Chain A
Amino acid sequence: MTAVTKNYSAKDYKSDIKPVWCPGCGDYSVLSSMTKALAELQIPPENCAVVSGIGCSSRLPAYTNVYGYHGVHGRALAAAAGLKLARPDITVIATGGDGDGLSIGGNHFLHACRRNVDMTYVLMDNQVYGMTKGQASPTTAPDWCGSKLTPQGSGVTAIQPLHLALSCGANFVARGFSGDPNHVAQLIAEAIQHPGFSFVQVLSPCVTFRSEQRGWKDTVERGKLAAATSSDEAFAILAKDNGMQTGVLYAGDRKPFNPSQPAVKDLDAVERKFVA
């Protein structure tokens, strides 16, 4: 069989729906990075699905021209795992923000990391809830006083997403910065190609509620996150991480979870066991 080769460009992965994101938002770049990665891998748009929860960044699927599922808050990883397990032939990407993925969806994140279904999770981290007007998220520093809900600061220690992913067994762990979209495209492409659950945290500024994040471009250290060959080494690197270094932290070799197998019986054989 000879496959018909089609030359997909990044534009083929974008829909005609115009994003509602604020101008300046990092998510525009992440969308662009994702479409570039898909084009580079030449995955036919119909064979790819992007699954999300709720939040600004979770609006991403509608802006793509692949199959999309915009579900409920925090549950993107569960829906994405179901899709991938039922349809191993589809490239599955879950997307969302820090509130969606690490607060309400925190439990699913732990288990997605350890379950190791062959899919990619792109978490756009802006350390704030944007859709609901700027509340502290699990990655917000405890002394950030910008929210009416926690005017004295949340007083709660921030989650380190990479650390969490690594502890829970994620098979590929990386960090990018939306201001460096070609690098993010590379990380996403590598994540998609890496077997098992791959996690890409993308620092993606919220210019509306965290306008100081416009300065991230000056503090991000590109490629400084050294690639570890073991999770022990990765933990050691993270011990010195300031949260602003980008790169692939860890690429492991755990076998992806895929319990499906071809049928070995027909319905009659299954039913025969009930005969008294």
Chain B
Amino acid sequence: MTGSFDVATFLAHALAFENEAADRYDELGDSMEVHNNMDVAQLFRRMAGFSRMHADAVKGRAGDVALPHFKPWEFQWREAEGPEVAQVERTHYLMTPYHCLELALHNERRGLEFYRGVATASTDAEVRRLARQMAAEEQEHVLVLEDWLAKTPAPAPDWDVDLDPPAVGD
């Protein structure tokens, strides 16, 4: 289906998932902060910053091209959400920076796959060209994250052990 993308549709998709990825990282940052996991909160906020930069880059590419409005459910994602949008269920209140980077890497790889897919499948030469360029950028992001992850200590086996029972609310 991504094969039929024209330039505007393609860029609208790219912009949407970068923006949503940024918003999601911010939300995750908030939720880590509420749960007093400040290291990971900060890391998520940095990820949000990167995604915003990428979103700006997409906007720059679009230039004067008017991007169409899609309803959230009209985007053609391969999964439930855009490729770089962190999945909520992959988070945990005790997650470590390592997990956070793993998640970010997972997202970037999905982004890479998305662009590669478009670059191969699109019937529009300009779309293929843009997608190849953007795939190359994603490849860089992937490499950076792989490197970062390699330098980050792996979590202890008992990283998710909580010594206190859950608290009660209302």
Q: Which residues of A contact B (CB under 8 A)?
A: 11, 18-26, 28-29, 32-33, 36, 40, 54-56, 58-59, 73, 130-134, 178-183, 185-186, 189, 205, 207-209, 214, 217, 222
Docked pose: A20 CA to B93 CA in angstroms: 11
Chain A residues near B30 (CB-CB < 8 A)? 18-19
| Min CB gap B33→A, angstroms | 7
B73 within 8 A of A: yes
Q: How many A-B residue pairs have CB under 8 A?
A: 91
In the complex the two chains form, is B31's CB within 8 Å of A23's CB? yes
Q: Pick the contact of B93 from A11, A23, A134 — CB < 8 Å?
A: A23
Closest chain B residue to A178, Cβ basis: B88
Docked pose: A230 CA to B52 CA in angstroms: 47
B166 within 8 A of A: yes
Docked pose: A36 CA to B168 CA in angstroms: 30
Interface string of B88-131 (1 = CB under 8 A from A): 11111101000000000000000000000000000000000000
CB-CB under 8 A for A132 and B34, given A24-B89, A179-B89, A183-B73: no
| Min CB gap B167→A, angstroms | 8
**Chain B interface category by residue count:** 20 to 34
Q: Which residues of B contact A (CB under 8 A)?
A: 23, 27-28, 30-35, 71-73, 75, 77, 80-81, 87-93, 95, 165-166, 168-170
Chain B residues near A54 (CB-CB < 8 A)? 170
Residues of B contacting A: mostly: loop
Chain B residues near A56 (CB-CB < 8 A)? 169
Q: Pick the contact of A26 from B27, B88, B93 — CB < 8 Å?
A: B88
Closest chain B residue to A190, Cβ basis: B73
Docked pose: A181 CA to B72 CA in angstroms: 9
Q: List 19 A-B contacts (CB under 8 A).
A: A19-B30, A23-B31, A23-B32, A23-B88, A23-B91, A26-B88, A28-B27, A29-B88, A55-B170, A131-B169, A131-B170, A133-B165, A133-B166, A179-B80, A179-B88, A180-B81, A182-B81, A183-B73, A189-B71
